[in-house]
């Protein structure tokens, strides 16, 4: 199961990284969102995986690590705030530069 | 129970929130609220410095949960110094903003206060994840501020800044996850203790985590190859924002210094990644000098001078020797304040040059050219490290503390490049003029705010000896990490 | 206290013109001259012990931790220079009063001049090496301002910048050199350093130190190959040239050679470096001086040549040569200052400095002519004038030197050759200007004698030339003796100042120089013709060109790095990350730890495969935005299933609700962005990015696997144990969020709130054209608020709110809490926006959500502050048990209040973001309907 989760993390991070490197704001938003998923699952996995052991006192014999969950929760919220900001910034960029290219100009391919 | 420690976080937070409740149109009230908060931060920072100067490390356990379980705020000399520096920089910057720049978009004052909250929080927290949270606070506020005002260039630079830092935040989380996964803790002091005990694969994982942290902090501090966002972002930001941002790179530097002093000054992990920092910092210094030479705009030139100061500082700090940390801290204070002054000055020049803006080309003659010229001359002398101003003291102190030929060469040649760039800029802006004066009036508040920052340089020069002693004291305390660890963990170490 | 007063008086005087400008130039000059006279008086008094072989010292601690103290010292050498600086400075002050154009009130001029005087005095009297460098740099800065005095003249600006760049570079080298000396000697005190010359010379760093210090001296004194800036500094007003290029600035480099003579001189390296530079400069300057048509240009090159001569003397490593060098410092200062002033008078009276036009002035201004002729004769080394004496000593010393072995004859030969050209250009100065026919087309005609008092400074200087030349023993001998003693740092060699030394080789060399010089001048036409055919080398243009080339190179490097392309920047960051992973991870012995893995089940594998497929599809289809969003939401959905699977219901709930809002946001954004994007990545970049992606993905996965299968002792058990007794809740995750680590949550909601503010700011007055068609090419429906949606959504609101309250209340004990409740509420409210429109909603609830955000964070914060009342730190919680019908028994904790803050912030922030984003489309609608 851990292998499966590691695989998922790997794929999420890799796809996220790849999309972050694209030229369109929308793709970058997608990439950062995927990267965010990957990072959240990664952070979550740092507490170890447990099945049916929710961290509620009295509900499970060997509760899972509650701290990483709390951290991920914070990370999700912050990530949401950041994504929202970026999305709107992308709109602003489109509005001011009339292009959804991350460098504000279309077509031109620069290294 | 003294609650002073948390005041630098709560005061701006409260001000920022009150600003949201206030009626949008009552500009005067908003300015007063913001300024009052900034004014209040100065005595608070002084009180905190007073406390820290005793030599004890103050610990504030949030929610009354003891470390390492709860979050703690830790006040040592270094944090107190940084708080004071921030407060001293913020007031003139905001005052400058109150002369009209605050009206160029909504929510300027709230964002400014939240930015201060984030910066102060980052300087105070003793918890790694909490550091992440405060980094996010200061970043999200800085995004808003960087985009304050309008213009496609600003939006483009802002977009770059935001995306890079979002990637940085993701890396930060990965590093934190690894730190938790290997040491099982988030408290900095506890981490410093537990990290020493790691071996085998855990040690490798921790190395990865720390190197990733260096990348994250390097991105904030603007180290090669992570500084590329800075010139455009700073040069395009509204003047008071750019001035405040002079402290932002120092937050990254602070984080590096703090982690290094706490966990990597001795023991099995001593000097982890410091070679890397040293070389990257030297490259940064060199490339920033080249960038300063090539700058086509005054704003860009100043931004490169900021990057140059980063290279200068990180190289010295990476040595981790208290003998170098002291002078480096003096230089940090100097460069923060003087770069802030330069950004404000740059804006004053822009205002007087109409369409020529801050481009280094022939433009209209300046109204008040003599006074602006004198101020520019003084700022230039200070920032490139010539006598009689504080840059010279800082440079001499650093050169004496870092006996390394490449560092000397780069620092001195960087100074020469800055001198060439600034003399070209100055003679072009002030003397290569044609046509009629187009300038608007500068505004007393703006001039006052700029002078307040600029005059810090002679003040720093006159008080150089006590300040150098003070910085040496900070460095000494930093060198003995057991003081910090014992204060936080209560003798558990 | 006399020493600091001497140095500070000019500084004081520099400030005066600021207040007296309006009184006119006469007052300025007078007020400035008085402190200088006073300083001279003080100097006379302070010099009393020096004539008896003593010294004056003064010091005050400034930066003891850096070894930088305010220390002054007046010995023979310093005294000599002080006399020159103050004396000639005073003459220049008087002269400038008559020289400056009528409309110049002189305020700025005198301020800068006196600042420069102050810096020079500091240089020559410093008793601390760092203090010396301090003043050294000040002279560079103040001379920059003086040279660029005519600021609107391009030549002045460029000349000044050139001087600043060259001397600035030298200053930095000097700083490095001085720091090394301090390192070697262990002190920056000049007195200590002078006593420890041997220590420096035996140190391994000696060659480096020597080169650095010489670099400082040579750049300042315009020694070859750094000489080129000096002629261009002639763009300065003539009084400035008379001051800077006769007695002061350029002599600072010479002063440095003299000052460090006991420390650095005496080695072969010193001999070769200093002599070579001196000889090259001497000849180069002398030869080119002849060809200058500009009066000041001739003087500039002659200055270079004479500086070379003095440098050469110091390089010879012989005490007598050093004495000669000190002597020539005095002589050159007097005749050259006089010549510059005379040139200024001629310039002023004729309106030009071109010697091809200024001819035959003898007829018009004979008195000035006599003065200028005497001074140039001194420059040529004619007997009975001071220049002759030092030149004679110079010739003698070149003959004495045997350090070049069999090649020793080179020195006297070079010296004689220099003498020949020196006579030739002096002859040209005399003959061309005052005789040689009639003036040619002068801008001002006829020239007249200048005002009476303008000539006084020149008269004084010329009188000195004659007096020293005829009666050296009673005029200059004493000063020379004390200065030379101080230079040598010990006993003075035997020497004899006299006009007549008998018939000897030096006299023969003088005769050769005189005859040869006149002969060369006689063939000047042919020489000028030869010169005219030379490719014109304008040092300024060459220098500017070089600088431009450096700037272009710098710009090129910067452009390559600073491409302005975000993709490049992100790639750098990620490449660094990949490098870290590739560097460190191969060291791992194994990618799994000691803990056994959990068994895999079919459903999990299926879900994982779906997630991977969806993630990959998002990547592949990222240009088809609608599809990408759908795939992305599948990914998000499965991620929340992962959380469910691995015992994290709180996370799953949060993830799910955030997912809903995020997708809503993305859809809204997509509405305004171009719906499809062109493929604009070349294959090379795609593969580069793919490599980065795979490297980082693999690295992170490996790391995750390793940590997941390793047992680590963490701080978590504490939370499980203390959740109920300390936090009053059984849902540990929630208790951590609102209590143990409530401060994080406080920060987190602040972030959310700030994001909302920032977004609001970004959206204000943003105008966007929306798409008319959806991504599939169908027109968007005209019916903005379909009836079905309206009727369905309105009853949904109370229902959703009830669920939110429920989730909120149970949060402390079971999965839920303020954040999720907040999101549910927001979604319900947003649905009203979508279904019924902004206008409808805003009629019913207030539209500005700023206060809501503020209230939320404020509530959370105030809950924290409340604990101060109980003398507990920020955010300390307390709780009690309460029974409510329907919901059951639960604890009412102060943390609930905190959670309410979270709830309010979330609602406020989400609505602030989305409602404003929604308004964009409203703007658009209105535009379309009108």
- Rounded-to-integer distance, Cα B382 and Cα B394, Å: 10
Which whole number is the average pLDDT over C134-146?
95
Cβ within 8 Å, pair A46-B181: yes
- Rounded-to-integer distance, Cα C83 and Cα C92, Å: 14
pLDDT number for residue B414: 94
Residue A109 belongs to some domain of the structure: no
Q: Are C95 and C344 in contact (CB under 8 A)?
A: yes
Beta bridge partners of C57: C73
Residue A108 has pLDDT above 60, yes or no: no
Q: Longest Cα pair distance anywhere in chain B, in angstroms?
A: 73
Chain A: closest CA distance from residue C583 (Å): 18
pLDDT number for residue C779: 57
pLDDT number for residue C808: 85
Residue C783: pLDDT band with limits 50, 70, 90: low
Would you give the DSSP letter of residue C405?
G
- Rounded-to-integer distance, Cα C636 and Cα C641, Å: 9
Would you give the DSSP letter of residue C316?
T
Chain B residues lying within 8 Å of A35, measured CB to CB: 167, 170
For the beta carbon of residue C51, count every other beta carbon within 10 angstroms: 13
- Rounded-to-integer distance, Cα C160 and Cα C233, Å: 6
Return the structure tokens found at C330: 């005095």
- Per residue in C729-760, pLDDT (tens digit) is 888 998 899 889 999 999 999 999 999 989 88
pLDDT number for residue C878: 79
Give Cα separations from C715 to B186, B188, C59, C434, C754 (angstroms).
9, 13, 60, 97, 31
- Rounded-to-integer distance, Cα C395 and Cα C400, Å: 9
Chain C: closest CA distance from residue A13 (Å): 5
Which whole number is the average pLDDT over A47-54?
88
pLDDT number for residue B15: 95
A89 lies in which domain range? 2-97
Residue C61, phi then psi, degrees to nearest 5: -75, 135
Residue C452 has pLDDT above 50, yes or no: yes
The answer, for A97 touching chain C at a CB cutoff of 8 Å, is: no
The answer, for A90 touching chain B at a CB cutoff of 8 Å, is: yes
The answer, for C814 touching chain A at a CB cutoff of 8 Å, is: yes
Residue C773 has pLDDT above 80, yes or no: no
Return the structure tokens found at C289: 């001086």
3-state DSSP of chain B: CCCHHHHHHHHHHHHHHHHHHCCCCCHHHHHHHHHHHHHHHHHHHHHHHHHHHCCCCEEEEHHHCCCCCCCEEEECHHHHHHHHHHHHHHHHHHHHHCCCHHHHCCCHHHHHHHHHHHHHHHHHECEHHHHHHHHHHHHHHHHHHHCCCCCHHHHHHHHHHHHHHHHHHHHHHHHHHHHHHHHCCCEHHHHHHHHHCCCCHHHHHHHHHHHHHHHHHHHHHCCCCCCCHHHHHHHHCCHHHHHHHCCHHHHHHHHHHHHHHHHCCCCCCCCCCHHHHHHHHHHHHHHHHHHHHHCCEHHHHHHHHHHHHHHHHHHHHHCCCHHHHHHHHHHHHHHHHHHHHHHHHHHHHHHHCHHHCCECCCECCCCCHHHHHHHHHHHHHHHHCCCCCHHHHHHHHHHHHCCCHHHHHHHHHHHHHHHHHHHHHHHHHHHCECCCCCCCCCCHHHHHHHHHHHCHHHHHHHCHHHHHHHHHHHHHHHHCHHHHHHHHHCCCC
Chain C: closest CA distance from residue B68 (Å): 8
Residue C245: pLDDT band with limits 50, 70, 90: confident
Interface of A with C in 42-81 (CB under 8 A): 42, 44-60, 63-67, 69-70, 72-74, 76-78, 80-81
Q: Hunting for tokens 């299933």 — which residue is that?
A: C641
Residue A69 belongs to some domain of the structure: yes
**Minimal CA–CA distance to B131: which of B307, B223, B256?**
B256
Return the structure tokens found at C721: 């144990």
pTM, full prediction: 0.94
Q: Are B230 and B157 in contact (CB under 8 A)?
A: no
Of the two residues C119 and B1, the one the predictor is more confident about is C119
The answer, for C562 touching chain A at a CB cutoff of 8 Å, is: no
Chain B residues lying within 8 Å of A82, measured CB to CB: 136, 140, 166, 169
- Per residue in B206-230, pLDDT (tens digit) is 999 999 999 999 999 999 899 999 9
Q: Which of C350-354, C713-717, C881-885 has the lowest mean pLDDT?
A: C881-885
User: Inter-axis angle of helices B481-489 and B464-479, to 10 degrees?
Assistant: 60
Return the structure tokens found at C266: 């005496």
List chains adjacent to chain A, taking adjacency as at least 3 C-beta pairs closer than 8 Å.
B, C
Percent pLDDT > 90 in chain C is: 55
Find all residues with CB under 8 Å of C681, minimum gap 6, and list them: A22, A23, C689
Residue C416 has pLDDT above 90, yes or no: yes
Chain C residues lying within 8 Å of B201, measured CB to CB: 588-590, 593, 706, 710
Chain C: closest CA distance from residue B164 (Å): 6
pLDDT number for residue C882: 64
**Facing B180 at nearest CB: one of A68, A79, A96:** A68
Number of structural domains in chain A = 1
Q: List the single best residue of A16, A74, A79, A105 to mutate versus C (max C Cβ within 10 A).
A: A74
Give Cα separations from C887 to C805, C880, C895 (angstroms).
10, 16, 18
Cβ within 8 Å, pair B163-A20: yes
pLDDT number for residue B92: 97
Residue C780 has pLDDT above 70, yes or no: no
Residue C702: pLDDT band with limits 50, 70, 90: very high
pLDDT number for residue C641: 93
Chain B residues lying within 8 Å of A46, measured CB to CB: 177-178, 180-181
Find all residues with CB under 8 Å of B347, minimum gap 6, and list them: B96, B238, B239, B242, B446
The domain limits of chain B are: 274-480
Beta bridge partners of C294: C354
Torsion angle, alpha carbons of B39, B45, B48, B49, to 10? -130
Residue A107 has pLDDT above 50, yes or no: no
Q: Are B195 and B263 in contact (CB under 8 A)?
A: yes
Of the two residues C1 and C166, the one the predictor is more confident about is C166
The answer, for B410 touching chain C at a CB cutoff of 8 Å, is: no
Q: How many residues are present in chain B?
A: 493
Chain B residues lying within 8 Å of A28, measured CB to CB: 163
Residue C928 has pLDDT above 60, yes or no: no
Cβ within 8 Å, pair B140-A85: yes
pLDDT number for residue C810: 78
- Rounded-to-integer distance, Cα B17 and Cα C105, Å: 56
pLDDT number for residue C637: 94
**Minimal CA–CA distance to B93: which of B371, B337, B309, B358?**
B337
Q: Hunting for tokens 């630098």 — which residue is that?
A: B8
Chain B: closest CA distance from residue C348 (Å): 25
Find all residues with CB under 8 Å of C150, minimum gap 6, and list them: C156, C235, C236, C237
Mean pLDDT (chain C, rounded): 88
pLDDT number for residue C745: 93
- Rounded-to-integer distance, Cα B380 and Cα B392, Å: 12
Q: Which of A49-58, B9-18, C176-185 has the lowest mean pLDDT?
A: A49-58
Residue A111: pLDDT band with limits 50, 70, 90: very low
Q: Are C312 and C249 in contact (CB under 8 A)?
A: no
The answer, for A87 touching chain B at a CB cutoff of 8 Å, is: no
Residue A110: pLDDT band with limits 50, 70, 90: very low
Residue C885 has pLDDT above 80, yes or no: no
Would you give the DSSP letter of residue C477?
H
Percent pLDDT > 70 in chain C is: 94
Which whole number is the average pLDDT over C835-851?
73
- Per residue in C861-878, pLDDT (tens digit) is 988 888 888 888 888 887
- Rounded-to-integer distance, Cα C247 and Cα C339, Å: 12
Q: Hunting for tokens 């090496």 — which residue is that?
A: C129
* A-to-C residue pairs, Cβ atoms closer than 8 angstroms: 321
pLDDT number for residue C884: 62
Return the structure tokens found at C239: 């009084």
pLDDT number for residue C107: 86
Q: Find the helix or strand (DSSP H, E) in which C592 lies.
A: none
Residue B492: pLDDT band with limits 50, 70, 90: very low
The answer, for A93 touching chain B at a CB cutoff of 8 Å, is: yes
Q: Are B236 and B153 in contact (CB under 8 A)?
A: yes
Q: Find the helix or strand (DSSP H, E) in which C239 lies.
A: helix C238-242
Torsion angle, alpha carbons of B131, B133, B135, B141, to 10? -150
Pairing of strands C68-74, C879-884: unpaired
Beta bridge partners of C354: C294
pLDDT number for residue C25: 85
Residue B61: pLDDT band with limits 50, 70, 90: very high
């Amino acid at each position: 199961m851990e292998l499966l989760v590691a695989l998922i993390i790997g794929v999420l991070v890799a796809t996220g990284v790849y999309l972050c490197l694209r030229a369109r704001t929308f793709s970058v938003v997608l990439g950062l969102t995927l990267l965010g998923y990957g990072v959240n699952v990664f952070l979550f996995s740092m507490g170890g995986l447990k099945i049916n052991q929710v961290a509620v006192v009295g509900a499970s014999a060997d509760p899972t690590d509650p701290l990483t969950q709390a951290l991920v929760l914070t990370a999700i919220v912050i990530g949401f705030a950041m994504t929202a900001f970026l999305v709107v910034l992308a709109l602003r960029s489109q509005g001011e530069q009339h292009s959804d290219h991350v460098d504000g100009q279309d077509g031109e391919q620069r290294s | 129970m003294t609650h002073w420690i948390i005041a630098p976080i709560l005061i701006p937070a409260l001000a920022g929130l009150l600003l949201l409740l206030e009626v949008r149109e009552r500009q005067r009230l908003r300015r007063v609220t913001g300024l009052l908060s900034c004014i209040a931060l100065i005595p608070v920072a002084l009180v905190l410095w007073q406390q820290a100067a005793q030599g004890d490390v103050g610990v504030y356990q949030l929610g009354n949960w003891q470390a390492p379980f709860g979050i703690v705020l830790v006040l040592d000399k270094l944090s107190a110094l940084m708080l004071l520096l921030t407060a001293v920089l913020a007031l003139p910057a905001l005052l400058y903003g109150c002369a009209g720049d605050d009206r160029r978009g909504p929510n300027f004052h709230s964002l400014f206060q939240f930015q201060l909250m984030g910066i102060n929080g980052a300087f105070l927290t003793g918890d790694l994840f909490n550091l992440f949270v405060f980094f996010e606070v200061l970043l999200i506020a800085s995004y808003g501020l960087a985009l304050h005002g309008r213009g496609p260039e600003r939006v483009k630079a802002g977009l770059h800044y935001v995306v890079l830092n979002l990637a940085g935040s993701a890396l930060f989380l990965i590093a934190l996850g690894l730190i938790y996964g290997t040491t099982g803790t988030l408290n900095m002091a506890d981490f410093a203790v537990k990290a020493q005990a790691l071996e085998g694969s855990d040690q490798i994982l921790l190395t990865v985590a720390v190197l990733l942290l260096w990348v994250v902090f390097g991105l904030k501090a603007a180290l090669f190859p992570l500084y590329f966002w800075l010139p455009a972002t700073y040069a395009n930001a509204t003047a008071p924002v750019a001035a405040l941002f002079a402290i932002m790179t120092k937050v990254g530097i602070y984080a590096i210094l703090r982690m290094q002093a706490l966990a990597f000054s001795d023991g099995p992990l001593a000097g982890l990644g410091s070679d890397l920092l040293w070389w990257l910092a030297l490259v940064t210094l060199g490339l920033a000098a080249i960038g300063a030479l090539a700058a086509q705009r005054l704003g860009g030139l100043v931004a490169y001078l900021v990057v140059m100061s980063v290279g200068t500082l990180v190289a010295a700090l990476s040595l981790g020797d208290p003998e170098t940390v002291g002078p480096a801290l003096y230089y940090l204070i100097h460069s923060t304040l003087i770069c802030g002054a330069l950004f404000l000055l740059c804006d004053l020049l822009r205002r007087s040059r109409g369409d020529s803006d801050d481009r280094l080309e022939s433009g209209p003659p300046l109204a008040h050219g003599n006074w602006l010229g004198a101020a520019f001359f003084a700022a230039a002398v200070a920032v490139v490290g010539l006598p009689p101003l504080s840059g010279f003291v800082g440079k001499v102190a650093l050169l004496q503390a870092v006996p390394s030929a490449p560092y000397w060469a780069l620092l001195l040649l960087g100074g020469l490049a800055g001198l060439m760039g600034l003399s070209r800029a100055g003679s072009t802006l002030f003397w290569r003029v044609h046509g009629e004066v187009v300038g608007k009036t500068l505004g007393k508040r703006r001039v006052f705010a700029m002078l307040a920052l600029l005059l810090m340089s002679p003040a720093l020069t006159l008080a150089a000896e006590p300040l150098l002693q003070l910085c040496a004291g900070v460095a000494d305390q930093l060198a003995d990490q057991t003081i910090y660890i014992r204060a936080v963990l209560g003798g558990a170490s | 206290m006399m020493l600091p007063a001497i140095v500070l008086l000019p500084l004081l005087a520099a400030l005066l013109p600021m207040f007296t400008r309006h009184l006119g130039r006469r007052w300025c000059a007078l007020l400035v001259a008085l402190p200088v006279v006073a300083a001279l008086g003080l100097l006379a008094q302070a010099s009393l012990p020096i004539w008896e072989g003593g010294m004056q010292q003064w010091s005050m601690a400034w930066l003891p931790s850096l070894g930088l103290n305010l220390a002054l010292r007046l010995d023979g050498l310093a005294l000599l220079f002080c006399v020159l600086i103050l004396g000639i400075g005073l003459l220049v002050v008087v002269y400038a009063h008559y020289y400056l154009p009528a409309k110049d009130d002189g305020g700025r001029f005198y301020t800068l001049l006196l600042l420069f005087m102050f810096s020079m005095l500091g240089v020559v009297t410093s008793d601390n090496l760092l203090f010396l460098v301090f003043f050294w740099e000040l002279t560079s800065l103040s001379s920059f301002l003086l040279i660029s005095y005519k600021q609107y003249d391009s030549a002045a600006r460029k000349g000044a910048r050139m001087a600043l760049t060259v001397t600035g570079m030298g200053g930095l080298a000097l700083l490095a050199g001085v720091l090394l000396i301090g390192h070697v000697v262990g002190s920056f005190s000049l007195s200590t350093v002078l006593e420890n010359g041997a220590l420096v010379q035996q140190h391994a760093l000696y060659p480096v130190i020597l080169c650095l210090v010489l670099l400082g001296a040579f750049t300042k004194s315009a020694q070859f190959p750094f000489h080129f800036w000096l002629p261009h500094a002639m763009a300065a007003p003539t009084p400035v040239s008379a001051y800077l290029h006769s007695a002061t600035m350029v002599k600072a480099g010479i002063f440095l050679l003299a000052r460090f003579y006991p420390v650095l001189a005496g080695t072969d390296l010193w001999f070769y470096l200093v002599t070579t530079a001196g000889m090259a400069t001497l000849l180069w300057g002398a030869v080119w001086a002849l060809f200058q048509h500009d009066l000041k240009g001739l003087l500039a090159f002659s200055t270079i040549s004479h500086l070379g001569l003095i440098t050469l003397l110091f390089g010879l490593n012989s005490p007598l040569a050093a004495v000669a060098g000190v002597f020539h410092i005095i002589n050159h200062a007097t005749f050259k200052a006089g010549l510059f002033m005379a040139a200024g008078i001629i310039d002023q009276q004729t309106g030009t400095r071109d010697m091809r036009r200024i001819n035959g002035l003898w007829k018009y201004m004979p008195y000035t002519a006599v003065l200028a002729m005497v001074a140039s004769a001194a420059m040529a080394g004619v007997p009975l004038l001071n220049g002759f004496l030092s030149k004679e000593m110079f010739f003698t010393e070149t003959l004495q030197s045997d350090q070049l072995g069999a090649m020793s004859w080179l020195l006297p030969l070079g010296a004689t050759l220099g003498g020949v050209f020196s006579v030739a250009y002096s002859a040209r100065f005399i003959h061309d200007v005052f005789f040689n026919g009639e003036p040619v087309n002068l801008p001002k005609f006829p020239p007249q004698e200048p005002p009476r008092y303008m000539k006084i400074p020149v008269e004084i200087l010329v009188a000195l030339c004659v007096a020293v030349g005829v009666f050296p023993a009673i005029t200059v001998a004493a000063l020379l003796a004390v200065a030379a003693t101080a230079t040598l740092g010990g006993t003075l060699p035997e020497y004899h100042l006299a006009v007549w030394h008998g018939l000897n080789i030096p006299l023969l060399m003088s005769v050769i120089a005189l005859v040869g010089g006149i002969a060369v001048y006689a063939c000047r036409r042919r020489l000028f013709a030869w010169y005219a055919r030379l490719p014109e080398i304008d040092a300024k243009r060459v220098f500017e060109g070089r600088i431009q080339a450096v700037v272009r190179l710098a710009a090129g490097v910067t452009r390559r790095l600073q491409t302005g392309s975000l993709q490049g920047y992100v790639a750098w960051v990620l490449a660094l990350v990949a490098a870290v992973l590739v560097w460190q991870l191969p060291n791992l012995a194994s990618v799994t730890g000691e803990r056994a893995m959990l068994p895999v089940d079919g459903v999990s594998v299926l879900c994982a495969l779906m997630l991977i497929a969806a993630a990959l599809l998002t990547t592949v289809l990222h240009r088809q935005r609608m599809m990408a969003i759908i795939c992305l939401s599948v990914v998000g959905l499965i991620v929340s299933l992962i959380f469910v699977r691995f015992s994290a219901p709180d996370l799953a709930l949060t993830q799910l609700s955030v997912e809903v809002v995020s997708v809503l946001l993305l859809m809204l954004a997509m509405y305004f962005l171009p719906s499809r994007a062109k493929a604009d990545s070349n294959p090379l970049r795609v593969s580069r990015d793919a490599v980065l992606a795979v490297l980082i993905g693999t690295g992170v996965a490996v790391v995750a696997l390793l940590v997941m299968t390793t047992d680590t002792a963490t701080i978590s058990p504490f939370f499980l144990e203390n959740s109920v007794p300390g936090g009053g809740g059984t849902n540990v995750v929630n208790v951590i969020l609102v209590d143990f680590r409530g401060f994080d949550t406080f920060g987190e909601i602040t972030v959310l709130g700030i994001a909302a503010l920032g977004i609001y700011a970004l959206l204000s007055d943003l105008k966007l054209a929306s798409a008319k068609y959806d991504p599939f090419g169908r027109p968007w429906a005209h019916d903005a608020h379909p009836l079905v949606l309206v009727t369905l959504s309105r009853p949904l609101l109370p229902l959703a709110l009830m669920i939110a309250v429920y989730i909120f209340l149970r949060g402390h004990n079971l999965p839920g809490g303020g954040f999720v409740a907040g999101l549910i509420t927001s979604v319900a409210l947003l649905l009203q926006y979508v279904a019924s429109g902004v206008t409808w909603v805003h009629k019913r609830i207030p539209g500005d959500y700023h206060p809501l955000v503020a209230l939320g964070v404020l509530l959370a914060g105030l809950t924290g502050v409340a604990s101060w009342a109980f003398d507990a730190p920020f955010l300390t919680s307390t709780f009690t048990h309460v029974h409510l019908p329907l919901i059951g028994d639960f604890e009412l904790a102060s943390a609930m209040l905190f959670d309410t803050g979270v709830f309010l912030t979330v609602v406020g922030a989400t609505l602030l973001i989305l409602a404003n984003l929604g308004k964009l489309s409203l703007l658009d609608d209105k535009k379309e309907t009108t």
